[in-house]
Structure 1
Amino acid sequence: MENFPVVDMKNLNNEERGATMEKIKDACENWGFFEVVNHGISIELMDSVERLTKEHYKRCMEERFKEMVASKGLECAESEINDLDWESTFFLRHLPVSNISEIPDLADDYRKVMKDFAVELEKLAELVLELVCENLGLEKGYLKKVFYGSKGPNFGTKVSNYPPCPKPELIKGLRAHTDAGGIILLFQDHKVSGLQLFKDGHWIDVPPMRHSIVVNLGDQLEVITNGKYKSVMHRVITQTDGNRMSIASFYNPGNDAVIAPAEALVKEDESSKVYPKFVFDDYMKLYAGLKFQAKEPRFEAMKAIDGPIATV
């Protein structure tokens, strides 16, 4: 845990920039995850997001979750549950079109705060994409352009609560998976842990830190970097006490964005292209049914889809 990469973003603007970029590079190559502090999102805004998210769960979702648990008899489970997660969630879409005003049960102040938070997270996601471009030697704006497609990127947030679970050895908060998309930004509970990533044959805790944002890389960046950076298997384990808040925002390519290894990262020999070329929406349709399985067969399946890709 003490080795988990934590990046102080303010050092990008001083004599520590070189070392900070190197730390990001190492995290992308060897972890698939890192945690950022001094990221430019105000502490006041983050505190409001946390308070209102927890209030909303108590008011609107806790009872529903308890009813679901009772209806499925989960508290009496005697063997491992492999087909569902111990989580209470709802989704917000920000781009290309926001649906925040349409989500029922959200208090007006919560709606406003989540809109403001999304604006800040979008900026941070685009900054991270730029830093990744710089480290990879790609031209400025390359990843943002690839993600853009014809209508701009997809950007949305999954708001989750992981309530106390009586049988953490049998029920996962969220089963192991890699994320399908691009850059994921996570604002997680600083008191209740649970997020783990798989590295070197072991599950490693992602340390909860107050006011930090956890960054992880999705499958699309593995493809674009031709495997130089990898998306990493991760999961949420349940706890017997404490309700863990998790707000994960996904900055993903647009539906019609064409994803392929960046030419600048592929040697002139075409055989060094390890990953397929595909339309993002086609990948997402495949991922929907295979989320909790290994990613490699998904990439192989996309290779098998033959024929030219129409580009705009």
Structure 2
Amino acid sequence: METFPVINIEKLNGEERAATMEMIKDACENWGFFELVNHGISHELMDTVERLTKEHYKKCMEQRFKEMVASKGLEAAQSEINDMDWESTFFLRHLPVSNISEIPDLEEDYRKAMKEFAVGLEKLAEQLLDLLCENLGLEKGYLKKTFYGSKGPTFGTKVSNYPPCPRPELIKGLRAHTDAGGIILLFQDDKVSGLQLLKDGEWIDVPPMRHSIVINIGDQLEVITNGKYKSVLHRVLTQPDGNRMSIASFYNPGGDAVIYPAPALVEKEEQKQMYPKFVFEDYMKLYAGLKFQAKEPRFEAMKDIESSINLDPITTV
């Protein structure tokens, strides 16, 4: 079996640059996922974020989750549950405007660590977008500019815990889906596994690795690359023991950013434009109700919208 792509980003600075760029290219084209090590975010900060996330769950969220499970009678489930996920989550917004100071129950040191972590992830996301531009033969900065919209990109974090589940065969931690946005950066538990992606019809584990950041491609990058890079179905399995932490940060286009296949790629590949042109927030409205369904009908629905309105690209800064 092929091994999951793990990329040492430090090697971009030496004689192994070309081989490393090729690994990134292969991962984007054939996996939709890869794992980064030596990514420039300090291990000490990651350890702090992990410790504070787990403490916050125990102190502020665990009891609420248990009450929810009890109220829905989930421990006694006898058949597969397909309409909900076994997860406890909250959301942080970083860009265009942070809401970290408004989230209740967060200790001050946790707010500070998450802000610092988000700054590192934003920088890493923008570095990765430029590496993708280089591999695709697009001008440097093209993807960042496309994501910009009138107020810059949107960037936020979903903090999740997947507590032990008494019936892991009947309920998923998170049902299979592709991510709607741009590029996703995940800091996952290195002791409790559960994340899987679908490759060639088989579910493959995304290996838990200490201090790594898992990267995956969202629907918008599939559109912009005209299908050269594809967003991939992934899911989280529940486990009978161990509480799995997952901190997923989404570097997405701004709400009013206009998304469409890069003309340079369509011309270079001498193929027709496979995806429509649309405003990102229109796609998100549609995605909200169809997250756990196939992505292709979402793209089709955007084609119908495109034919009924005239979209002028928004001038980027």
Q: TM-score, normalised to structure 1's length?
A: 0.98
Distance 1:50 1:269, change over 3 A: closer
**1:252 Cα offset (Å):** 0.1
**Which amino acid in 2 is paired with 1:27?**
A
Matches within 5 A, 1:89-108: 89-108=89-108
Matches within 5 A, 1:1-312: 3-267=3-267, 272-305=272-305, 306=307, 307-312=309-314
Q: What is the CA deviation profile of residues 74-104 of structure 1, one whole-angstrom value per residue up to 9, with x for unaligned ones?
A: 0000111011000000000000000000000
Q: Distance in 2 between matches of 1:128 and 1:61?
A: 33
Local SS of the residue matching 2:36: strand
Local SS of the residue matching 2:267: coil
Q: What is the CA deviation profile of residues 127-171 of structure 1, one whole-angstrom value per residue up to 9, with x for unaligned ones?
A: 110000000000000000000011000000000000000001100
**Which amino acid in 1 is paired with 2:4?**
F
**1:268 Cα offset (Å):** 7.7
Which of 130-139 and 267-276 deviates more? 267-276
Runs of 4+ residues over 6 Å off in structure 1: 268-271
Q: Distance in 2 between matches of 1:52 and 1:6?
A: 27
**1:304 Cα offset (Å):** 0.6
Structure 2 gaps of 5+ residues are none
Local SS of the residue matching 1:267: helix
Q: Distance in 2 between matches of 1:122 and 1:269?
A: 30
**1:311 Cα offset (Å):** 3.7
Q: Distance in 1 between matches of 2:2 and 2:80?
A: 31
**Which amino acid in 2 is paired with 1:133?**
C
Q: Distance in 2 between matches of 1:217 and 1:91?
A: 20
Q: Distance in 2 between matches of 1:131 and 1:166?
A: 43
**1:244 Cα offset (Å):** 0.1
Q: Distance in 1 between matches of 2:149 and 2:37?
A: 31
Local SS of the residue matching 1:165: coil
**Which amino acid in 2 is paired with 1:93?**
R
Local SS of the residue matching 2:240: coil
**Which amino acid in 2 is paired with 1:299?**
F
**1:310 Cα offset (Å):** 4.0
Q: What is the CA deviation profile of residues 186-231 of structure 1, one whole-angstrom value per residue up to 9, with x for unaligned ones?
A: 0000000000000011000000000000000000000000000000
Local SS of the residue matching 1:255: coil
Local SS of the residue matching 1:228: coil
Q: Distance in 2 between matches of 1:299 and 1:271?
A: 18
Q: What is the CA deviation profile of residues 38-86 of structure 1, one whole-angstrom value per residue up to 9, with x for unaligned ones?
A: 0000000000000000000000000000000000000000111011000
**1:270 Cα offset (Å):** 8.8
Distance 1:72 1:115, change over 3 A: same
- Identical-pair percentage: 82
**1:309 Cα offset (Å):** 1.2
**Which amino acid in 2 is paired with 1:116?**
E
**Which amino acid in 1 is paired with 2:37?**
V
Distance 1:79 1:46, change over 3 A: same
Q: Distance in 2 between matches of 1:93 and 1:115?
A: 10
**1:2 Cα offset (Å):** 6.4
Aligned positions, number = 312
Aligned CA RMSD, in angstroms, stands at 1.2
Q: Distance in 1 between matches of 2:59 and 2:9?
A: 36
Q: Distance in 2 between matches of 1:4 and 1:270?
A: 31
**Which amino acid in 1 is paired with 2:24?**
I
**Which amino acid in 2 is paired with 1:203?**
W
Q: Distance in 1 between matches of 2:266 and 2:313?
A: 21
